[in-house]
Amino acid sequence: METHGTIAPASLDEAEAAFDRVGPTAQVVVRETAKAMDFDREEYRARVTGDVIETVRNALFAESLSVTVGTRGEFDDWRAAHEGYEVVELGNPDVDRVAWHAVPFAETVLATTFQNERDAAVSTLRRNAFGRVYRDALLGEEAESDGDAAAGAAGDDAAGTDDGATGADR
């Protein structure tokens, strides 16, 4: 098993603190991106809205979530040790590899299966965790019904196919 990412909040307060910490970084990223695109002051004011900065903040938070990657057996062992958790599994249950993120304060674990494309599966899982759990908890917004995760990001739920590939593998 391996773990990727740094944000693993055990409580809603910890999640809120981590979310607050990425706010200034989001502002810097947007400002530097606009500078690299040669926005003048007028264009910057017109195009860089609070929604733009919030979208970057959401994406930075989501992409920093801690994700465990392992085999189906390792995930099943984790589930057996955390029986009280609701499981939201995306993808094909017959695939050998699983990436998962537990949200203790929501007693939920989100998982996605994959065969080859680990990085894509991890990113898909993070966006889904944000959209399905953190968005409502942090922003008071209902998760969108189509599984769109990070505000403005493509919500590509990992959907299993007969060959065991997920949305992350395509």
Q: What is the pLDDT of residues 48-90, one digit of tens each?
A: 999 999 999 999 999 999 999 999 999 999 999 999 999 999 9
CA distance 111 to 88: 6
Quick: pLDDT tens for 8-30: 999 999 999 999 999 999 999 99
pTM: 0.79
* CA 133 to each of CA 63, 82, 142: distance values in angstroms, whole numbers, following the listed order: 14, 18, 9
Residue 29 in contact with residue 56, Cβ under 8 Å?
yes
Lowest mean pLDDT among 64-73, 110-119, 137-146: 137-146
